[in-house]
Amino acid sequence: MRLRSGARGTFVPAAGTGASGPVERRGRAAADGILRYGAIRLKRVYLDNAASTQALESVADAVRHALLHAYGNPSSLHGMGLEAERIVEGARAELARALGVEPAELFFTSGGTEANNLALKGAARARARRGRHILVTPIEHDSVLNALNALKAEGFEVEYLPVDGAGRVDPDRVRERVRPDTVLVSIGAVNNEIGTVQPLAAVGQALAALGEERPLLHTDAVQALGKVPLGDVIRHVDLASFSAHKIHGPKGTGALYVRRGVKLLPLAEGGGQERGLRPGTENVPGIAGFGAALRELEMLVQAWPRMRALKEALWEGLRDGLDGVQVRRLGPPPAEAAPHILSVAFPGLRGEVVVHALEEHGVFASTGSACTSRDPRPSHVLKAVGLEDEVAQGAVRLSLSRFTTEEDVERAVAAFRAALPALWRFARLRGRGGAR
Amino acid sequence: MDGAARPGATMLVRYGEIGLKGANRKAFEGALKRRLEEAAARAGAAGVTRVRLAHGRIYVDCEEADEDTRERLLAALTRTFGVVSVSPAQRVPLEWPAVVEAAEALGRRARLAGARTFKVEARRANKSFPKTSPEIARELGAALAKRLDWPVDVQRPDAVVTVEVREWIYVFAETRPGPGGLPLGTGGRGMLLLSGGIDSPVAGWLLAKRGLEPVAVHFHSPPYTGEKALEKVRDLCRVLAAWCGPVELFTVPFTEVSQQIYERAPDPLGTVLMRRFMVRIAERLADRAGAQALVTGESLGQVASQTIESIAAIADVATRPILRPLVGLDKAEIVELARRIGTYEISVRPFPDCCSVFVPRRPATRPKVEDCRRAEERLDVAALVEAAVAGAAHERLEAWPAFSARSSRTDP
């Protein structure tokens, strides 16, 4: 059995060991590079759905069909080209229906990062003669912040909007910051680390009050699709970015909504596909998978109450179940946050140490802050919402999907209970000396 | 007939030091020949090459290898310890037109690669060939200058076309340096303490260059270090494997040791005590792996654990020699070597040991052996070592195929 590096940490029963006792605490790297965790096969609990999700069977089928059967080029004149084109247009229609927009307002991209780059660079460059001032929140995804950093080098001025402790912008404050030369405002619909849902409809209304000369409003809606109501948001924005693999579709596929009449400059020149805005032969298998995932979007919407309830159960399990370990909930009040993201912090512990420890118990989670022993930099999001480094470094993100079960939550809480007290004994906060 | 049946391609492999070793010479040549055969196998050229010894050289015949395979073979040969240089040559019969034809092909290629001037050098070891060395040089130089419209420059030529007359005639225009040193394994085996940083892979490489076959041991501290940190160490082994052949790696769970030191020992001694445990555990694994020495990446004075007092306190628990090939090198020198070996880009990958939780606040820079021994009286030394050795996992890592294909630069 051979796994690619991305699949490491898979739980497989260790061959030839007669042990039936408790699961070993530490995995063992065998010659084939697979971690073995004693004799017991652990069921995986995947709580990293904000990073990526498992594809649906129907998605895998659609991708496979496109690869093996509908493999024509949508630009070709013959019947096989048409078959591929129908797949692409079918997926576009699904997304249009889900968002309540026209299919002609949607452009397929290679994912959320490209959609964000295309929206921001495309809009800013197209409007550069009108002005060069851009407003953005400091808690955006790197693909937004770094696209804007690139624009700074082209002479654009980027101003960061204030956010409160929950990461929210105030629509009135946004409007106040708009200047005559402001051409673009970018505010993510749902924050990927702490689940903040931004008041985008109110921001859109506030900007609309500025009349003809108002700036364009872009939203990175990658974490929002299928997780929060988007109809009202889409009506108030000019540009919105989406990704397939956050909704059980394939990686490498996304889309950009461009309100009719909004002009963008393309990032690349090519053969005119996607009406010249995103040339290149369409990723038909990816788009087919995106379409299949969108066809089950309603199931995601129906899962909101259950995801919310499970998330609360998870939080309560952590709050009440970890004797003596400090834990804090981050982000907005539960009722106002996205249903799938729970951000917690264990002040004094390192988030990535907690993540590794959970993995030993079969639970897969994420941390916002990238740590290196040389450069323990907490996440820009957690810093922007005013958390002290000590708390931000201990942040762990648990993100659910519509397939998360009550049993998963129980297992996750049990994993925390098993893993954390040992780590807590060596927590930095408690200083050194006690046992000495 | 030199053992070769037909004309074709041959890599001329030169070795230095091992030629000087009198009585041991045969053993060394045999070892180098075996290593070159292994290198050929790593390059995917096992079935299409033949390695033979003659005239104080090693000839690797590879006429049946295609262009790509020959390039991979050349890269692998120039990464074999003991090799001073390698020249990819055309092997032709003792006939003048064949020499001119082969030289013209090589010359044309050198011209295209940017050599503006050239000269011819000739060595006639086989006196049955009618032309003398000066005649060969003069006549071939004139022929190439005319046919390729290529100016001769005997003082500072861009390219040197060399003709060696033996039972065959070897013609080559390129010589690539090898790493030098001694064939792997002639120096025994060494247990390399491989951390994932910049230094330790370089230490392993330097001693491998002196013939000491490295066996790696890595101490990891789950959950304080993750699976990606371990993969980084595996990747370092894979780069070393491109020089040494498959590298054995022991991964040792070290968390319990760190925790007990942290809880029971004086803070300033933390680092040196951890190192003492690593040495003890590495020695146990060295028994198992048949390694006669330990190898570390210590460089004098680089960090607190590398003062002469620390080095002494660490060596106190060793029964084998601890070899420290970097001891006199500056960081910049180590980095330069790491880049050349191909480990640098991996070592600087940001999957660090977040194990910093166990790093002392104020590490002792001059720890005393006596203090270390006293501190360890409060630890379950034997049990901790036993558990770590029992928990060690063993694997064998081979070079990435793509890595073997790189000729000069050795990025991962």
Q: What are the pLDDT tens digits along chain A (436 aa)? A: 333 333 333 333 333 333 333 333 344 433 443 444 444 456 899 999 999 999 999 999 999 999 999 999 999 999 999 999 999 999 999 999 999 999 999 999 999 999 999 999 999 999 999 999 999 999 999 999 999 999 999 999 999 999 999 999 999 999 999 999 999 999 999 999 999 999 999 999 999 999 888 999 999 999 999 999 999 999 999 999 999 999 999 999 999 999 999 999 999 999 999 999 999 999 999 999 999 999 999 999 999 999 999 999 999 999 998 888 899 999 999 999 999 999 999 998 889 899 999 999 999 999 864 444 445 567 899 999 999 988 998 999 999 999 999 999 999 999 999 999 888 888 754 444 333 3
For chain B, helix (H) and strand (E) counts, in that order, are 14, 14
Q: Are residues B359 and B217 in the same domain?
A: yes
Residue B337 burial (CB count, 10 A): 21
Q: Chain-centre distance of CA A391, in angstroms? A: 22
Asked if residue B55 belongs to a domain, the reply is: yes
CATH number at residue B81: 3.30.2130.30
What is the SS3 assignment for A190?
strand
Q: How far apart are CA A159 and CA A182, in angstroms?
A: 10
Q: A8-17, A380-389, B184-193, B274-283 — which is least confidently predicted?
A: A8-17
Q: Are residues B246 and B159 in the same domain?
A: no
Q: Can you name the residues that pair with A196 across neighbouring β-strands? A: A337
DSSP B207: H
Question: What residues in B contact A361, CB-CB < 8 Å?
Answer: none
* Residues of A carrying an active site annotation: 371
Structural contact between residues B319 and B190, judged by C-beta atoms closer than 8 angstroms: no
Q: For an interface test with B, which of A26, A354, A355, A367 has the most B Cβ atoms less than 10 Å from its Cβ?
A: A26
Q: How far apart are CA A57 and CA B92, in angstroms?
A: 63
Closest residue on chain A to B378 (Cα): A436
Asked if residue B35 belongs to a domain, the reply is: yes
Radius of gyration of chain B (CA): 26
Q: Are residues B362 and B213 in the same domain?
A: yes
Structural contact between residues A99 and A149, judged by C-beta atoms closer than 8 angstroms: no
**Would you state the pLDDT for residue A350?**
87
- Domain boundaries A57-297, corresponding CATH code: 3.40.640.10
Q: Provide CB contacts within 8 A for A123, sequence distance 6+.
A: A183, A184, A216, A218, A238, A239, A262, A263, A264
Question: What residues in A contact B259, CB-CB < 8 Å?
Answer: 425-426
How many residues are there in chain A? 436
Structural contact between residues B38 and B245, judged by C-beta atoms closer than 8 angstroms: yes
**Would you state the pLDDT for residue B304?**
67
Cβ distance of B267 and A371 shorter than 8 Å: no
Q: Are residues B156 and B206 in the same domain?
A: no
CB half-sphere exposure, B124, CA atoms < 13 A: 12
Does a cis peptide bond (omega within 30 degrees of 0) precede residue B222?
Answer: no
In this prediction, the answer to ipTM > 0.85 reads no
How far, CA to CA in Å, does B336 sit from each of B182, B219, B332, B339, B391?
A: 21, 25, 6, 5, 35
Q: What does DSSP say about strands B322-323 and B293-295: parallel, antiparallel, or unpaired?
A: parallel
Whether the CA torsion B244, B249, B254, B257 is positive or negative: it is: negative
Q: For an interface test with A, which of B220, B237, B263 has the most A Cβ atoms less than 10 Å from its Cβ?
A: B263
Q: How far apart are CA A90 and CA A70, in angstroms?
A: 13
How far, CA to CA in Å, does A317 sit from each of A42, A314, A417?
A: 20, 5, 9
pLDDT at B65 over 90: no
Question: What residues in B contact A347, CB-CB < 8 Å?
Answer: none
Asked if residue B412 belongs to a domain, the reply is: no
Residue matched to tokens 């001693």: B207
Q: Are residues B206 and B340 in the same domain?
A: yes
Q: How far is A2 from chain B (nearest CA, A)?
A: 14
Of A9, A33, A355, the CB nearest to B395: A33
What is the SS3 assignment for B111?
helix
Q: Are residues B239 and B347 in the same domain?
A: yes
Q: How far apart are CA A36 and CA A39, in angstroms?
A: 8
Domain boundary residue among B177, B208, B223? B177
Q: Can you name the residues that pair with B124 across neighbouring β-strands? A: B165
Cβ distance of B223 and A423 shorter than 8 Å: yes
Q: Are residues B168 and B239 in the same domain?
A: no
The whole domain housing B169 covers: 8-177
Name the CA dihedral angle for A77, A78, A84, A86, rounded to a multiple of 10 degrees: 80
Asked if residue B199 belongs to a domain, the reply is: yes
**Inter-chain contacts counted by CB atoms under 8 A, chains A and B:** 85
Asked if residue B295 belongs to a domain, the reply is: yes
**Would you state the pLDDT for residue A51?**
95
* Overall domain count for chain B: 2
Which stretches of chain A sit within 8 Å of chain B by CB? 5, 8-9, 26-33, 35, 350, 352-360, 370-376, 419, 423, 425-428, 432, 435-436
∠ CA B102-B103-B104 to the nearest 5 degrees? 90
Which fold does the domain A303-429 belong to in CATH? Answer: Aspartate Aminotransferase, domain 1 (3.90.1150)
Cβ distance of A5 and B353 shorter than 8 Å: no
Q: Average pLDDT for residues B11-33, to the nearest whole number? A: 80
At B7, the pLDDT band (50, 70, 90 cuts) reads: confident
**Would you state the pLDDT for residue B70?**
87
Of A8, A350, A360, the CB nearest to B222: A360
B123 φ, ψ to 5°?
Answer: -135, 120
Amino acid in position B343 = T
Asked if residue B58 belongs to a domain, the reply is: yes
How far, CA to CA in Å, does B81 sit from each of B53, B76, B210, B404?
A: 17, 10, 8, 15
**H helices present in A296-342, as ranges:** 297-302, 304-321
Q: Are residues B158 and B209 in the same domain?
A: no
Q: How far apart are CA B238 and CA B292, in angstroms?
A: 23
Crossing angle (nearest 10°) for helices A142-152 and A112-126: 30
Asked if residue B2 belongs to a domain, the reply is: no
Q: Are residues B172 and B197 in the same domain?
A: no
Q: Are residues B130 and B208 in the same domain?
A: no
Residues of chain A with CATH 3.40.640.10: 57-297
pLDDT at B256 over 90: yes
Does a cis peptide bond (omega within 30 degrees of 0) precede residue B223?
Answer: yes
CATH number at residue B286: 3.40.50.620
Q: How far is A356 from chain B (nearest CA, A)?
A: 5
Closest residue on chain B to A34 (Cα): B227
How far, CA to CA in Å, does A313 sit from each of A319, A331, B278?
A: 10, 17, 44
Cβ distance of B223 and A353 shorter than 8 Å: yes
Q: Are residues B125 and B234 in the same domain?
A: no
Cβ distance of B263 and A436 shorter than 8 Å: yes
pLDDT at B407 over 80: no
Domain boundary residue among B138, B154, B177? B177
Crossing angle (nearest 10°) for helices B227-244 and B331-341: 70
pTM, rounded to two decimals:
0.81
Residue B130 burial (CB < 10 Å; 0-12/13-18/19+)?
A: exposed
Amino acid in position B27 = A
B6 φ, ψ to 5°?
Answer: -125, 160
Q: How far apart are CA B9 and CA B171, in angstroms?
A: 10
Q: Are residues B217 and B250 in the same domain?
A: yes
Structural contact between residues A198 and A176, judged by C-beta atoms closer than 8 angstroms: no
